[in-house]
Structure 1
Amino acid sequence: MTSSSIPSDRPPPPPQSYYHPLPAEPHSQPHQPTQYIILLPRYYNLQTFLNRTCRRRLFCLAALLLLGLAIFFLWPSNPEISIVRLRLDRLHIVTFPQISLDITLDLTVKIRNRDFFSIDYKSLIVAIGYRGTQLGYATSAHGHIKARGSSYINATVELDGVEILYDVIPLIEDLAKGEITFDTVTKIGGGQLGLLLFEIPLEAKVSCEINVNIVNQTIEQQNCYPE
């Protein structure tokens, strides 16, 4: 007995594929909106900026002004010295056996303190000279000058028997004319500031040229100038 099979009308299954489809092109994807980032500079308020700049400049200017005023008022300066009165008390010239002279000179000195603190000076020195040669000097005691104040000091220079060794001929000529010229130098020694509490060299000085009439023993002319 022979078996028979009935043919089927179904198509055969397709062969199995080992490949995957390629991805789609970018332009085929759905469109997305483009994003932009914008960088803006920092915003300044012009009026605020100008006001801040002006305040800084005014502050710096005020600081410099205060510093300058402090230096001006506190920086030590030399006092002023001047001759208020100058009087000849005695003049005697000896010609034998050698030329010498006796002289007494009275003067009043004014010392003015320009600083805003007091000054204590050590001494006041008054020297007398003839034709650039010092004949002698006198020294007074120490003194005190208050801030922005003045002080008057009386000083007397008395010289006895001072010999003239180097300027004999000019002195004889002056004696013949009846007039002799002396020079004086008045200065104060070192002092101490009442505020800073340390010693500084004070260089207040005044020089004078005085023409003395030998006959009537008077000062005919005087010329004083600070140094």
Structure 2
Amino acid sequence: MAKAGAAGADDPTQAPLLLPQPPPSYGVPVGGGYYQEPPVQPYLLIPVLSRRRRSRGCRPACCESLVSSSSLLALLSAAVILGSAAFFLWPSDPDVRLSRLGLRRIHISTDKHGGVSLDFDMDLKVRVRNPDFFSLDYDEIRVAIGYRGRRLGTVTADGGHVRARGISFVDARLRLDGIRVLQDAFYLIEDLSRGKIPFDTMTVVEGQLHLFGIDIPLEGRISCSVDVDAATQTIASQTCYPE
């Protein structure tokens, strides 16, 4: 039995389990008792990093994109300014209108050979408006009259001056004496029998716009369809449209 006990003592598997001993505690007498200090707990210290806003520098590619964007914006602004200046300063043709048409006399006669001749006398008041920011000098005003697409005659009025963005009125007289109508004589006699004769008028204003010492030629046109009452010697109706 003693051997067995000795053998059991030598066998490491049969040795008693040794547990780790807690750290010794020290007591301090407090009020007749002892105050036992609690065991020390381990702590892990973590460094606190201050959050500072990092200044972001401009990378070369970023700087190049900013410069190109600024240049593009400057070019677009310059293009808009130049386009607006060209829109307002670009010369435009004068606006021509007929303010008044007055018929003085119309007479149609035939000869013994069957020919037809026409006497026509009419007053016109031409309104010329200059839409530009520079003055306009027009050399002449031409007024032509036609019948069924064929021109019968032309009259010319003197020129004048129109200030910038101004309006001028010019009086003209269209007078034709003894105009022979050959191709459309039959239609003219037929219209005369009905009492109304249709005529076409074309008014042309030619001039120069003075732009920074340079004369720019301009031209304004207006066409009118006029129905003349042969019995009353008046204008029955008129329709005008600029060209």
SS at match of 2:201: strand
CA distance in 1, matches of 2:183, 2:191: 14
Tell me, yes or no, if structure 1 residue 220 matches structure 2 residue 236: yes
Deviations 1:41-69 (A, max 9, x none): x8539997786555434322221111102
Query: For residue 152 of structure 2, what is the aligned residue in structure 1?
Result: 135
- Which moved further from structure 2: 108-117 or 195-204? 195-204
Query: For residue 93 of structure 1, what is the aligned residue in structure 2?
Result: 108
CA distance in 1, matches of 2:155, 2:58: 80
Q: Is the Cα–Cα contact under 8 Å of residues 209 and 217 in structure 2 kept in the other structure?
A: no
Q: Is the Cα–Cα contact under 8 Å of residues 192 and 198 in structure 1 kept in the other structure?
A: no
CA distance in 2, matches of 1:193, 1:204: 12
SS at match of 1:140: strand
- Which moved further from structure 2: 172-181 or 200-209? 200-209
Tell me, yes or no, if structure 1 residue 168 matches structure 2 residue 185: yes
CA distance in 1, matches of 2:67, 2:150: 68
Query: For residue 103 of structure 1, what is the aligned residue in structure 2?
Result: 120
CA distance in 1, matches of 2:147, 2:216: 31
CA distance in 2, matches of 1:130, 1:73: 40
Aligned pairs for 1:115-126 (under 5 A) are 115-126=132-143
Flag the structure with higher strand content. 2
* 1:135, distance to aligned residue in structure 2 (A): 1.2
Q: Is the Cα–Cα contact under 8 Å of residues 125 and 139 in structure 1 kept in the other structure?
A: yes
Tell me, yes or no, if structure 1 residue 80 matches structure 2 residue 95: yes
CA distance in 2, matches of 1:63, 1:207: 41
Equivalent AA in structure 2 for residue 166 of structure 1: Q
Tell me, yes or no, if structure 1 residue 147 matches structure 2 residue 164: yes
**C-alpha spacing 1:161/1:44, structure 2 compared with 1 (3 Å):** same
Query: For residue 210 of structure 2, what is the aligned residue in structure 1?
Result: 194
Give the paired residue count: 185
CA distance in 2, matches of 1:145, 1:43: 60
Deviations 1:106-144 (A, max 9, x none): 111111111111111110000111111111111111211
SS at match of 1:67: helix
SS at match of 1:215: coil
* 1:171, distance to aligned residue in structure 2 (A): 0.8
Rg: which structure is higher? 2
Indicate the RMSD between aligned Cα atoms, in angstroms: 2.2
Q: Is the Cα–Cα contact under 8 Å of residues 120 and 145 in structure 1 kept in the other structure?
A: yes
CA distance in 1, matches of 2:223, 2:170: 16
Query: For residue 47 of structure 2, what is the aligned residue in structure 1?
Result: none
Equivalent AA in structure 2 for residue 177 of structure 1: R
- 1:207 alignment partner, one of 192, 217, 223: 223
Query: For residue 182 of structure 1, what is the aligned residue in structure 2?
Result: 199
- Which moved further from structure 2: 56-65 or 108-117? 56-65
TM-score (norm 2): 0.69
* 1:95, distance to aligned residue in structure 2 (A): 2.1
